[in-house]
Amino acid sequence: MPIITVEGPSRSVEQKKRLVEMLTSALKEAYGYPEDFEHIIVIINENKPENIGSNGILLSEMKKG
């Protein structure tokens, strides 16, 4: 059972629904699974900018400058 994990910022339910559909379809195509294969899981972890840092700076602080 393939599991896809996505880390990123918060998005609307419609955007997440589209992402799940697109990732599932892409994985089926890449792995040669039939269209009726139903065992693909997509996990979306939403991260707030204050919980992510790059180059020693929080993303929430980068947006301020």
Query: What CATH number does the domain containing 33 carry?
Result: 3.30.429.10
Range of the domain at 10: 3-64
How many domains in the chain? 1
pLDDT of residue 65: 54
**What is residue 55's three-state secondary structure?**
coil
pLDDT of residue 45: 97
pLDDT averaged over the chain?
A: 94
Can you tell me the mean pLDDT for 14-41?
A: 97
Its pTM stands at: 0.81
pLDDT, greater one: 39 or 63: 39
33 and 27 Cβ atoms separated by less than 8 Å: yes
